[in-house]
Structure 1
Amino acid sequence: MKRFVAILLAVMLVVGLTACAAQEAASTWEDQYELGIRYLSEGNYEEAIIAFTAAIEIDPMQVEAYVARGDAYFQSGQPEKAESDYRKALELDDDDDDTASKLVDALIQQGKLEEAAEILEDLIEKNPSNPDYYDKLADIYEQLEQPEKVQETLEKGVEQTGDQQLSDRLEEIAQEASGLPPVPDDGISREVVEMSSGDELMELSFAEGVENLEIRLGDGDYNVDSFFLYGAENVSIIGTGNTRLVSTYGTETIISMYDCDNILLYGLIMGHDLEPSMSCSTGVVELLSSKDIKIIGCDIYGCGLHGINASESRFVVENSIIRDCSMHGAMLYSSRGIFTNCTFSGNCYQYTSNPVFDLWGESCSVNLNSCVIQDNLGESKYKLADGAEFEESDTIETGNSWQ
């Protein structure tokens, strides 16, 4: 009996020691892992790697340790070792999308862009609502110089997620492709309305007091006959550079403004679709008693009598073209116009005795900055009534009839 009791006690002791050892090992893995996390958060990557390596040696089946060591390697500038740890973690848990995304980052750091793109495509298929995947994939295609895939990825991302940053990035790409300058931001909040036809736009014509509105127009023709803004304030009409506001009648302006303040015309092609031999009785853009009018990235063309006709108004025109207008490029009465990086071409073809710029009134002035004046058929560049002023700097003149 004594011998049996002794054997039983020995067995119990062995079992107890084994259980304690297992418990100690588990505790040691946790201790090493938590120690590594602390080192990692402090930016002590070398000590973090040592601690995570100890945790992996104790229990090589713990996914978190591989991921954490991969993070330490990645943040310490060793993406190839990070890649190895992320791959091991994915072998243990292939549904870990966060680790797959980290693997993408490690591959990108090493220039393994094609493989990174393949992983992101798979991630998007599994989780199409994550905007970060589309953003990273677009970055990769940008580095691979595949602009079509960049645009395709962003378009899909916007469609699937509605993410504003993806939308802004897509808009920037479209703007760069159009060659237009950035849309100016005056800090005023506006209601955004998208319109697909000239009829929609004309519903606002002659409406009094339109304010704080941003009208977005797409590619193609918007047929209008004297779109008229009356008393409008803080209104932007944003085109794509391929947006055409046109009329088949020569008796109506394209856009007229009366008593308006802070109006932006951007990325618009505006003119009358008539043969040069036909006569117009009006201009293209008409400004009456308006101020802070900005015309940016626009193409203003004939056969309007005047590209811009301004009376008692203040306006600036940038990166725009005024061409093929039958009477004047611009006619101003008691107005101030500033033109920067603009081109005036082929104007005064029907009234060759006229100047390109016709200025009336004591407070009237035109200032040209870095503009091109070419192939105009008028007999002079400008005509000034008493008190009017014309200033220019860095102007290029070629092929004009007065030269």
Structure 2
Amino acid sequence: MKDNNAIGIQYLQDGKYELAIKAFTEEIENNPTNAVAYVNFGNVLNAVGEKEKAMNFYKKALQLDEKMAAAYYALGNNYFELEDWQHAKEMFEAAMKNGLQNDGDTLFMLGMTLLKFDQPKLALPYFQRAVELKPTDMEARFQYGLCLAQQGLLEEAIEQLEEVVKHDDQHADAFYNLGVAYAYTENKEKSLEMLDKAIEVQHDHILAAHAKKIILEN
């Protein structure tokens, strides 16, 4: 007996969306109470830009299984993209409550959502845990570094941001924030070095150019 979910996921990963839809449709027709199939169908719709329709499938999955963490996570992502921060926050929290409490992506997205509420202090532990779980996730590490800096933990912030630029020497914003952090620690030479690198990577980095101007004038 063929596994339409597995077949559909493979088609989705290969970018063969029509074949993926066909496989998931067949699965839903054969097993209409299979919540996983609805999540997978929603993922295909998301991939082709049909976000509103995708959300209906995720909600259907939750009607069938209210503990379906993957559906909560997917809904959270869609609400986040729609800038509905409150619903995004609720969905990511529900995803964690139902089994994704140690999933780096979920922790990262909840942290990002909390930043939309201007709550970097609350976001900090989620980014920290996300980095612990996925040390190579440089975007999570970057956000973690920013949150540390916002809490005045400059040495810790510098450590994280240095790690980011070590792995990605084209991350202009990481260089810029390193420049600012070094300026606050009164390391003018290092600050200018980082700001120059930010401008080298992104010639029109206005913030870096402005920060450099201020440092040179003082």
More strand by share: 1
Q: Which residue number in structure 2 is paired with residue 169 of structure 1? A: 143
The answer to whether the aligner puts 1:73 opposite 2:29 as a matched pair is no
- The 1-side partners of 2:51 and 2:3 are apart by 26
**Structure 1 position 83, deviation (Å):** 1.1
Assess if the C-alpha contact under 8 Å between 1:86 and 1:99 holds in 2.
yes
Q: Which residue number in structure 1 is paired with residue 81 of structure 2? A: 109
More helix by share: 2
Assess if the C-alpha contact under 8 Å between 1:317 and 1:342 holds in 2.
no
Letter in 1 for 2:112: D
**Structure 1 position 169, deviation (Å):** 2.6
From 51, 56, 69, the equivalent of 1:97 is 69
From 116, 128, 131, the equivalent of 2:104 is 131
**Structure 1 position 69, deviation (Å):** 1.0
- The 1-side partners of 2:144 and 2:55 are apart by 31
- TM-score, with length taken from structure 2: 0.60
- The 2-side partners of 1:67 and 1:153 are apart by 27
Q: Mind listing any 5+ residue stretches in structure 2 that lack a counterpart?
A: 167-179, 193-211
Change (3 A) 1:73 1:296: same
Assess if the C-alpha contact under 8 Å between 2:123 and 2:147 holds in 1.
no
Q: Mind listing any 5+ residue stretches in structure 1 that lack a counterpart?
A: 1-26, 190-239, 242-264, 269-294, 298-315, 320-339, 344-369, 373-403
Assess if the C-alpha contact under 8 Å between 1:341 and 1:371 holds in 2.
yes
- The 1-side partners of 2:10 and 2:3 are apart by 11
- The 1-side partners of 2:121 and 2:42 are apart by 32
The residue correspondences of 1:37-76 to structure 2 (distance < 5 A) are 37-76=9-48
**Structure 1 position 156, deviation (Å):** 5.1
- TM-score, with length taken from structure 1: 0.36
Change (3 A) 1:156 1:173: closer
- The 1-side partners of 2:16 and 2:130 are apart by 40
| Greater RCO (CA < 8 Å, at least 6 residues apart) | 2
Assess if the C-alpha contact under 8 Å between 1:67 and 1:86 holds in 2.
yes
**Structure 1 position 132, deviation (Å):** 2.5
Assess if the C-alpha contact under 8 Å between 1:79 and 1:107 holds in 2.
no
Find the structure with the greater CA-based Rg: 1
**Structure 1 position 60, deviation (Å):** 0.9
Q: Which residue number in structure 2 is paired with residue 153 of structure 1? A: 123
- The 1-side partners of 2:35 and 2:23 are apart by 15
**Structure 1 position 119, deviation (Å):** 1.6
Over the aligned positions, Cα root-mean-square deviation in angstroms equals 3.9
The answer to whether the aligner puts 1:371 opposite 2:210 as a matched pair is no
